[in-house]
Structure 1
Amino acid sequence: MNTFLLPDLGEGLTEAELVRWLVKVGDVVAVDTPIAEVETAKSIVELPSPYAGVIEELHGEPGTTVPVGKPLITVGDSAGAAGREDPAGSASRGDLAGSAYREEELAGSGNVLVGYGTVESTGAGRRRKPRVSGVSGGSGASGGSESPARVPLVISPLVRRMARDAGIDLHELTGSGPDGLIVRRDVEHAISFRTAPVPQPALEDRTGLHELRRTPMSGFRKAVVATLTRSRAEIPEATTWVDVDATALVELRASLRTATDPGPGLLALMARFVVAGLLKYPELNGYVDTAREELVQYDGVNLGLAAQTDRGLVVPAVGNAHTLTTRGLDAEIRRLTTSARDGRLTQQELTSGTFTLNNYGSFGVDGSAAIINHPQVAILGVGRIIDRPWVVDGEIAVRKLTQLSLVFDHRVCDGGTAAAFLRFVADAFENPASVFADL
């Protein structure tokens, strides 16, 4: 039997949260068969099995945190599983093939049971104890030779399924059947005990309220907290904003759409103007080297795009965005967005950004004083685009307005540079055709 330990996932990560199992006890796996998805502080990783054989045990429930070096799965010898036989003498593989199980009624109990190996019949109405095989080192053992606390004694597929569906760990149950056999009533008792009303917790002193729930922080959330806390602690930030008439931008987006080509999206157009602004004002596209007391500017732009996912806010970056056309930006933005929602972003995509564009207008809000994504030095937010009254040529007209807000590190530039960058992007939104002529 082999036990697969959570491997070192690199980047100094010391733990991972178990998202979901891709296998179950009794499955036959080959080398490199995906067995689990784990979430690190960086992304979701699919782990392959380094062993071939039968899954004997899954160590941990989804949602738990597993330290590096701790057990994930135990894999038994597949040859031992193939050698299990049924009462008729044909090969039986227990959980590996549900139809190979022989269910028998436990006399007098009304509970269905079955062995990993065989149930021997000694005549009508008489049965011997189940013989357990393949649960310790791949060799056969009698029911009384294994500790029920370590290996759950012989159970039927029905009982096993009941426990799995209810989230009951069979290793924690003490069987009431012969020789500690776990039967249906044991699982039902565990379910009823777990769902029984629990005493109301004491009132919290400060608020006088009961706590509704406590949710442990995932590794991903811990990383977000650390980054944002460091940003607030180290960066003397300032915010500037401007209302923008984006009517021409929306019209340009519509003009690029055809019956056969959807054309670049609004976010790609915005990104194109932001990249152009950063090339013009590179102070906002860099970082502060505090150890050497130097301001560093990058030769090129990796544009970070804030994206909300089920696991929280992530900021994947479009690498070398300054070399892409607007269509190229659109394709890469769509790819990164899909990868973010699927939890498939790479370490490089998550950490290589040099500036962040945050389209919080997608949440239906007008403005926000965002937190800079450390170690970057600025973040530009775009609010929702809505119809509002606006003065055009001395007359009130209905226009499509949005708000741009720039949060910047005051160490890298003064307000004049930040305002000039913001005004450049705002002018591009208001007169996109003229700006495109210069790009």
Structure 2
Amino acid sequence: MSSDMQVFLLPDLGEGLTEAELVNWLVAVGDEIKVDQPIAEVETAKSMVEVPSPYAGTVAELHGQAGETLDVGKPLISIARAGAAPVAPEAPAAVEDAVSTGVTASPEVSAAAETYRTEEKAGSGNVLIGYGTPGGATAGRTRPRKGSVAVVGSVVQEAPLEPALAGTRIPGKLSAVISPLVRKMARDHGVSLDSIEGSGTSGLIMRKDVEAAIATPEAPAAPAPTRAPEAQPAVEGDVDSRTGLAVAARTAVRGVRKAVAANMAKSRSEIPEATVWVDVDATALLEMRAELKKRAPHDTPGLLAFIARFVTAGLKKYPALNTRFETVADGSQEIVGFDGVNLGFAAQTDRGLVVPSVRNAHQLSARELDAEIRRLTAVARDGRATPTELGSGTFTLNNYGVFGVDGSAAIINYPEVAMLGVGRIIDKPWVVNGELAVRKVTELTLAFDHRVCDGETAAGFLRYVADCIENPGGALADM
């Protein structure tokens, strides 16, 4: 392989993910690209991200088709250096092997591998949006991200709303959308992108095209498809051998659903879990929140935020539930404790169930917890949550009461060791001071790993949170 050819391998997308689904190419063979230009949109088990190029030059080869699952460390794109003579793409495996395994190769391949190492280390600092290449000189993009507001660290840059993509096309599509902002706008307004003729280069659908479709009442609006796995119609005559019934559809298990399935199976197979539960009179908590809402209608935390505050305080008293059970390299086992709480909470999205986490939740007030829970819920549903936000929890709070159920035998979010569930709050007969009354009652359910603690610890934590809900004023005053 010529040293003028640069092969960019699919990078680790964070948190040890080993594969990603190629959703869309944002460039085509023959395109001239710049450093940090987004080249592909990929979906991991945790989020949707754009992958920017660490190299400038001419696109020589695209290693994969839309819809294909690619392994981390495998070639993603081959780029000829700017000003280099056109080179026919060669098999990238030799460079990949030289880079990842260190196996002795020919001088030509070794030179290409060394070039990859050198440029990767000194790269743009933006192999992934929001992350960075090793040794990157800057923490942000070297040019504005198109079609969005780029937020990196504490620096906020307003970027142009419409991408300048001269000579860029997306293979296999008559019209296409690159900007996630444009796609979200169409989805939120029920506009079908298939019905829009793009005004950009090669039929690219621009923001102004979607705005025009929204403003045209005659145009019938159809919901845009979600990123959930699509059920494929079964082949005619496809009959299930076990039941004898015709197969109606087959749905590929991938993305978030694939990650959830693997995580839940691992949790069930490795964690000897136990469950304790208790009914709780939440009347005082609802009354306290109603009173606060009268004083500050637009600045009152939600019920989940108050419960989250009680949970973080409870984990301080019962730290065994805020740990991780690990088997180390020599086969011995240990329980890892943490100095702080990253509180995860279950959020249902179009892509499946995800668990974003509020980092250092133990340091936040109920009002601050409420703001962060709302922010993380929004980015998770938009598919913009980072791997760190989705994979750093130490304990999970699950409000399944929003689905109208009272309790659940929950599966612990591996590798955590406990999960607290909150059921719906309903009117129930309750004895108060020896007399029957109607109270607002909910059920708390705690699933815990019996390897890290016994029932006494689990019951103590559950009772502590229950007591805080029943006497929220006193509990908050003591925190």
Same fold (TM over 0.5): yes
Contact kept, 8 Å, 1:6 with 1:67, in 2: the verdict is no
Choose from 444, 457, 470 the match for 1:404: 444
Choose from 405, 411, 423 the match for 1:383: 423
CA separation of 1:54 and 1:275: change in aligned 2, threshold 3 A:
same
CA separation of 1:13 and 1:380: change in aligned 2, threshold 3 A:
closer
For structure 1, the residue ranges without an aligned partner over 5 or more in a row are 79-158, 167-196
Separation (CA, whole Å) in 1 of partners of 2:253 and 2:270: 24
What secondary structure, in the 3-state scheme, does the structure 2 residue paired with 1:327 have?
Answer: helix
Aligned to 2:325: 288
Aligned to 1:216: 252
* 1:402 Cα deviation after fit: 0.9
Separation (CA, whole Å) in 2 of partners of 1:288 and 1:267: 27
* 1:293 Cα deviation after fit: 3.2
Aligned to 2:402: 362
CA separation of 1:267 and 1:436: change in aligned 2, threshold 3 A:
same
Contact kept, 8 Å, 1:3 with 1:71, in 2: the verdict is no
After superposition, residues 154-165 of structure 1 pair within 5 angstroms as 161=174
CA separation of 1:379 and 1:260: change in aligned 2, threshold 3 A:
closer
* 1:221 Cα deviation after fit: 3.1
Aligned to 1:274: 311
* 1:295 Cα deviation after fit: 3.1
Aligned to 1:264: 301
Separation (CA, whole Å) in 2 of partners of 1:428 and 1:163: 53
Aligned to 1:126: none
Aligned to 1:239: 275
Separation (CA, whole Å) in 2 of partners of 1:403 and 1:375: 25
Contact kept, 8 Å, 1:55 with 1:76, in 2: the verdict is no
- The letter for the 1-side match of 2:12 is L
1:329-366 per-position Cα deviation (integer Å, ceiling 9, x unaligned): 11221221122112222232222211111111122211
Separation (CA, whole Å) in 2 of partners of 1:289 and 1:299: 17
* 1:13 Cα deviation after fit: 3.7
Separation (CA, whole Å) in 1 of partners of 2:455 and 2:296: 45
Aligned to 1:413: 453
For structure 2, the residue ranges without an aligned partner over 5 or more in a row are 84-171, 178-193, 196-232
Contact kept, 8 Å, 1:6 with 1:66, in 2: the verdict is no
Q: Kindly indicate whether residue 357 of structure 2 is the aligned counterpart of residue 353 of structure 1.
A: no
Aligned to 2:132: none
TM-score, with structure 1 as normaliser: 0.66
CA separation of 1:255 and 1:75: change in aligned 2, threshold 3 A:
farther
Q: Kindly indicate whether residue 360 of structure 2 is the aligned counterpart of residue 320 of structure 1.
A: yes
1:82-102 per-position Cα deviation (integer Å, ceiling 9, x unaligned): xxxxxxxxxxxxxxxxxxxxx
* 1:201 Cα deviation after fit: 2.5
After superposition, residues 180-259 of structure 1 pair within 5 angstroms as 200-257=236-293, 258=295
Contact kept, 8 Å, 2:55 with 2:79, in 1: the verdict is no
1:104-146 per-position Cα deviation (integer Å, ceiling 9, x unaligned): xxxxxxxxxxxxxxxxxxxxxxxxxxxxxxxxxxxxxxxxxxx
Sequence identity of aligned pairs in percent?
A: 63
1:6-48 per-position Cα deviation (integer Å, ceiling 9, x unaligned): 5222554442112345567998754423343211233322112
What secondary structure, in the 3-state scheme, does the structure 2 residue paired with 1:161 have?
Answer: coil
Separation (CA, whole Å) in 2 of partners of 1:375 and 1:293: 14
What secondary structure, in the 3-state scheme, does the structure 1 residue paired with 2:174 have?
Answer: helix
Q: CA RMSD in A?
A: 3.5
Separation (CA, whole Å) in 2 of partners of 1:288 and 1:25: 48
